[in-house]
Amino acid sequence: MQISVTVNGVVQERDVDPRTLLVHFLREELDLTGTKIGCDTSQCGACTVHLDGKALKSCTLLAAQADGTNVTTIEGLALDGEHHPMQTAFWENHGLQCGYCTPGMIMATTAFVEDNPGASEEAIRHNLEGNICRCTGYHNIVKAVKQVADAAAGGD
């Protein structure tokens, strides 16, 4: 079937097998391999992207369901060649190790902080329940997100 999805600002028109998952569409068809697959059952969040501004697990959605939407992946998060503040915060706070969960973590937490500036550490930890990291023990991820959340609250 024919779909049209705007991905990272570029309109992509493709003929896809109706059963194609959005994550496979992004990775295989558009070669946007920054979005990862970690569990196949929507637990780990490695495949998180923004769909019309909301964080969403791209393994739970068919590409066909994304027809007509606006998708941002990790590759499209940086603005004018500058890292998004969340990317910077993960780097500065050692919020990653193997990096595999990182794109999903960053996509999930950018959307979270946008909706929850000044979020508490407890709220951040609670919100991270849909994203699994095996390396960091979450400690420095929480620190990174808190830094951005605090800045977002202070900046208003």
Partner 1 sequence: MSTRIFGSGIKRREDPRLITGEARYTDDIKLPGVLHMAVVRSPYAHANIVSIDSSAAEAMDGVVAVFSGEDVDLAGIPTAWLIPDSDLKTPEHPALAKGKVRYVGDGVAIVLADDRYTAQDAADAVNVEYEELPVVVDPEAAAQEGAPQLFDDVENNIAFRWVMGDKTASDGVFNTADVVVRDKIVQQRLLPTAMEPRSAMAQYNPATQELTLWCTSQNPHIHRFIISAVTGLNENKVRVIAPEVGGGFGSKIPCYPDEALVSWAAIKLGQPVKWTETRSENYQITIHGRDHIQYVEMAASRDGKLLGVRATVYAGMGGYLSTAAPGIPTILHGLLYVGPYMMDSVFCESIGVMTNATPTDAYRGAGRPEATFLLERMVDMVAKRIDMDPAELRRKNLIPAFEDGYEVATTLVYDSGDYPAAFEKALGIAGYDDFRREQAEARADGRYLGIGITAYTEMCGLGPSQVAGAVGFQGGLWESATVRVTPTGKVQALIGASPHGQGSETTLAQIIADELGFPVDDIEVIHGDTTETPMGWGTYGSRTTPVTGAALAKAAQKLKDKARTLAAHLMEANEDDIEYADGSFSVKGSPDQSQSIQDVALMAHLAWNMPEGMDPGFEESQFYDPPNFVYPFGTHIAIVEVDASTGDIELQRYIAVDDCGPQINPEIVAGQIHGGVVQGIAQALCEGVIYDDNGQLLTGTMMDYTMPRADMFPNFELGETVTPSPHHPIGVKGVGETGTIASTPTVYNAVLDALAPFGVEGIDMPMTSAKVWQAIQSAGS
Q: Tell the smallest beta-carbon distance from residue 39 to partner 1 (Å).
A: 4
With H, G, I as helix, E, B as strand and everything else as coil, classify residue 56: strand
Long-range contacts of 148-152 (CB under 8 A, 24+ apart): 148/85, 148/86, 148/89, 148/109, 148/110, 148/113, 149/113, 149/116, 149/117, 149/118, 149/119, 149/124, 150/118, 151/85, 152/113, 152/114, 152/117, 152/118
1 belongs to the binding site for partner 1 (CB under 8 A): no
The region of 50-58, 62-70, 91-99, 111-119 touching partner 1 under the rule CB under 8 A is 91-99
3-state secondary structure of 87: helix
Residue 31 touching partner 1 (CB under 8 A):
yes
Rounded to the nearest whole angstrom, what is the least distance from the CB of residue 142 to partner 1 in the complex? 6
Q: Does residue 70 interact with partner 1 by CB under 8 A? A: no
Binding footprint of partner 1 on the chain (CB under 8 A)? 17, 19-20, 24, 27-28, 31-41, 43-44, 46, 73-75, 77-78, 83, 87, 90-92, 94, 96-103, 106, 121-122, 124-126, 128-129, 131-142
